[in-house]
Structure 1
Amino acid sequence: MTTEAAVCEVEVKYRVPDLAALEAALVAGGVVLSAPVVQDDQAYARVGWEYGQSKIGVPFARLRTERGRHLLTVKTPVVNEQSCVEHETEVADREQMHAAIEQMGFYPTVRIRKTRRMAMLGLMSLCVDEVDGLGAFLEIERIVPPGEAGERVQAELDRFAVTLGVPLQRTRDTYDSLIRAAQVATI
């Protein structure tokens, strides 16, 4: 039996106050974004974990539907919330997978709906997201081998973001945490 090594997804995320300026900067840099796709994500946490607790070393699940396909992703933050060991696979039945995730000891936290446009630039994946209830964001990601310093990669990605020359507000939170905070603020 062979097993593949886990991959690490390292990202930086920014609020985008001026989406038109970002789009213009990307075009000027030769970046061509994909057509928009809607992603409907249900986030899950292990029973016993609550918002406000550390995410480091704790596995989280996500069930995503995009263009009729369902993907199960499990991420475990390593150094910070945006540097994670990740495993992902396609599943046939979203409702059955939802039930299985709950049976494995996870509970649904928040639903995240967004429209995403993507582009590759070298080893970087650029995602321009319009997240329901939150606004526009830019995510810059790289997949790295286990053991590569996530914080060093994040610093490189951040240096690239600065070269775009547009106003961006870095956030170290994940979409689920941002949505949860927005929900709590409206209560």
Structure 2
Amino acid sequence: MAGETQEVEVKYLVTDLRVLEESLARQGAILSAPVRQDDQAYAEPGWAYGQSKIGVAFARLRTQGGRHYFTVKKPLANEMACLERETEVADREQMHEAVIAMGFQPTVRIVKTRRTARLDGMTICVDEVEHAGVFVEIERTVDATESGTAVQEQLDAFACSLGVRLQRTTDTYDSLVRAALTPA
């Protein structure tokens, strides 16, 4: 894994978006214009919700601004500390068919509106996720040998320093959307 990187993040349900936006602005984090992201998530054959995601490869096909991106993530320490590879693809439907041919199974479609900001080596994403709510993700890309949980502690400390009421979640968007759409 030498030379590889991992994306490490923390995620929070936002209770008051306006207060969060004001706090981020005071910190110097100016959010971008909103962009719509339409994601199809995929899982390895044999994996099912309720099983551990650690060490399992997951794929995503995203359309944003008329462009398509294929991503593979493999959770390391937990679901929010992942090895990640991403590339742009020309044809979403053909890539979908290729992912299916590789044996991956479609799981959940996630549609969200995202605004981003960069601050002190962090990327801050404010996401309005259809069926799940408004969330803020704070992430950093670090060497794969770094402790993802230690980085998450640093990111959590930053989130707490904002002075905004946030509810931390360790669920990924696919799990949150699935739970919202699954009858009790």
Instruction: Give the TM-score range, shorter chain.
Output: over 0.9
Alignment partner of 1:89 out of 68, 83, 87: 87
Task: List 4+ stretches of structure 1 deviating above 6 A.
Answer: none
Q: Displacement, 1:11? A: 0.2
Q: Does 1:31 align with 2:11?
A: no
| CA distance in structure 2 between the partners assigned to 1:22 and 1:97 by the alignment | 37
Deviations 1:63-82 (A, max 9, x none): 00000110000000000000
Distance 1:5 1:31 in 2: 29
CA contact (8 A) 2:131 2:181 kept: no
How many angstroms apart in 2 are the aligned matches of 1:157 and 1:108? Answer: 31
TM-score relative to the length of structure 2? 0.97
TM-aligned CA deviation for residue 182 of structure 1: 1.2
Distance in 1 separating the partners of 2:15 and 2:170: 16
**2: CA distance, partners of 1:34 / 1:13:** 19
Give the conservation status (yes or no) of the 8 Å contact 1:77–1:83.
yes
* Long gaps (5+) in structure 1: none
2:18 counterpart residue number: 20
The match for 1:155 among 122, 145, 153 is 153
Deviations 1:127-162 (A, max 9, x none): 000001111100000000111000000000000000
Instruction: Indicate if the aligned counterparts of 1:6 and 1:87 stay in contact, CA closer than 8 A.
Output: no
CA deviation string 1:51-106 (max 9, x = no partner) = 00000000000000000110000000000000000000000000000000000010
Partner Cα separation in structure 1 for residue 60 and residue 3 of structure 2: 20
Query: Quick one: percent identity of the two aligned structures?
Result: 63
Structure 2, gaps ≥5 residues long: none
Structure 1 counterpart of 2:101, from 103, 113, 128? 103
Instruction: Return the letter of the residue paired with 1:121.
Output: L
Deviation (angstroms), 1:43: 0.2
TM-score, normalisation: structure 1? 0.96
Q: 1:7·1:87 contact (CA, 8 Å) conserved in 2? A: no
The aligned residue for residue 80 of structure 1 is 78
Give the Cα separation in 1 of the matches to 2:163 and 2:97.
45
